[in-house]
Amino acid sequence: MPPVKLFQFRHSPFCEKARLLLNAKAIPYAVQEVTPGIGQVDLFRRSGQRQVPVLQDGDVLVAGSVAIARHLDSKVPDPPLLPGDDQERARALLWENWADTTLAHGARMALLQAISRDNHLRKALLPQATPAPLRDVVGALPGDVVSGVSQLFTRTDLQQLRYALEQLTTLVANGQPLLGPRHCVADMAVAAQLYGLKFPATAGAALAGRGVPGIADHPLLEPLFAWRDQLYGAMGRGDHGPAPFSAPTDHG
């Protein structure tokens, strides 16, 4: 088993960011899925953390995708996740912060709204350990039962998110990294938050290509998701990229 283990929720964008960071460094790692509720209690007992991602690197525990990025750069300096030039580094950190906050909030709310209206998405996003009968019950729930949070995300909010994504598309239309000649943490942070807007192939057959209506199927945004998929390929997370080792759940 690889000495590095990632505790994760599979479909969390921040866990996806951590996976991209690990792949960028070509570090072999195991993944352990954390079941919401009891799994978080077990994670807290192990690490003092309830939220994922948490990276276990030998005896060292690192919580949060930002801290994981800094830990990996100290562990394996090349290739760097942050540019060496001070101004480029500052730009990368600003991009990362924007992706982890503003873009993350808009993407999360848009996906919640989509989930409230799409039974297939609700079922597919349940933890893998969810029993089939419960999965069927959740999938069959009427949309108005699960739409409370989604009502906080208005048509104007969706338009603003789409506008930001259109500007982002213009920036990456040439297929190049956001900053400089090589991908850095800025690219990985942005790409990770696109995860639930249009699920990549790595999300599995039940989700691949699906996502938020009006964004996943928006023709003007196709170059953005093509850029994301190109980055996945470069990081070894494309259709044929190496899959991380799935560790058995250990409650001992």
User: pLDDT digit string (tens) for 6-46?
Assistant: 999 889 999 999 999 999 999 999 999 887 665 555 665 56
Task: Tokens for 91, please give them.
Answer: 């730009």
Q: Helix or strand or coil: residue 65?
A: helix
What CA–CA distance (Å, rounded) separates 72 from 22? Answer: 8
Q: Give the global pTM.
A: 0.86
- CATH architecture under which domain 86-234 falls: Up-down Bundle (1.20)
Angle at 241 between CA 40 and CA 8, to 5 degrees: 5
What CA–CA distance (Å, rounded) separates 38 from 56? Answer: 19
Residue pointed to by tokens 């912060």: 97
pLDDT at 195: 98
HSE (side-chain half, CA atoms, 13 Å) at 200: 27
Which residues make up the CATH 3.40.30.10 domain(s) of the chain? 4-81+240-246
Nearest Cα neighbor of 70 from 60, 82, 79 is 82
Higher pLDDT, 111 or 245: 111
The stretch 65-92 carries a mean pLDDT of 95
Neighbour-count burial of 161, counting CB atoms closer than 10 A to its CB (0-12 exposed, 13-18 middle, 19+ buried):
buried
Tally: H helices and E strands in the chain? 10, 5
Residues of the chain above pLDDT 70, percent = 77
- CATH architecture under which domain 4-81+240-246 falls: 3-Layer(aba) Sandwich (3.40)
Which residues make up the CATH 1.20.1050.10 domain(s) of the chain? 86-234
Task: Tokens for 132, please give them.
Answer: 């089939």
Nearest Cα neighbor of 110 from 168, 155, 141 is 155
The stretch 75-93 carries a mean pLDDT of 94
Higher pLDDT, 115 or 169: 169
